[in-house]
Amino acid sequence: AQSVTQLGSHVSVSEGALVLLRCNYSSSVPPYLFWYVQYPNQGLQLLLKYTSAATLVKGINGFEAEFKKSETSFHLTKPSAHMSDAAEYFCAVSLSGSARQLTFGSGTQLTVLP
């Protein structure tokens, strides 16, 4: 079985501040992990994915995430927030790597304050 928990349904940061969005997973084996972003009135798009090649994964728009097996976490970070980063972010997990077995977290709405 697999599940994913995103801590904090809403996160606010000031422009230029560190962005940290938390994701913890539960699975019996190391899973495939993904972060997707949803801008207002759009579909989701892939930010980055972990597929066991490297624990630190770099994605688009300056985001990165680190897979920590001991903490069962895959937190998303960005050193300096931009106004354009305001969106909803979803963490997702798949044991097999198959998209049809993907479980999404409940999402974190990121607000960037000027």
Q: Which stretch binds another protein (CB under 8 A): 14-22, 33-41, 66-74, 76-84?
A: 33-41
Binding to another protein, residues 36-95 (CB under 8 A): 36, 41-46, 49, 51, 90, 94
Using DSSP bridges, classify how beta strands 10-14 and 108-113 pair: parallel, antiparallel or unpaired: parallel
Q: Which amino acid is at 87?
A: A
Closer to another protein at the Cβ: 70 or 98?
A: 98
Is position 32 an interface residue for another protein (rule: CB under 8 A)?
A: yes
Cβ atoms of residues 88 and 38 within 8 Å:
yes
State which of positions 92-111 bind another protein (CB under 8 A): 94, 97-100, 102, 104-107
- Tokens 């090649």 locate to 53
Distance CA(41)–CA(38), nearest Å, equals 8
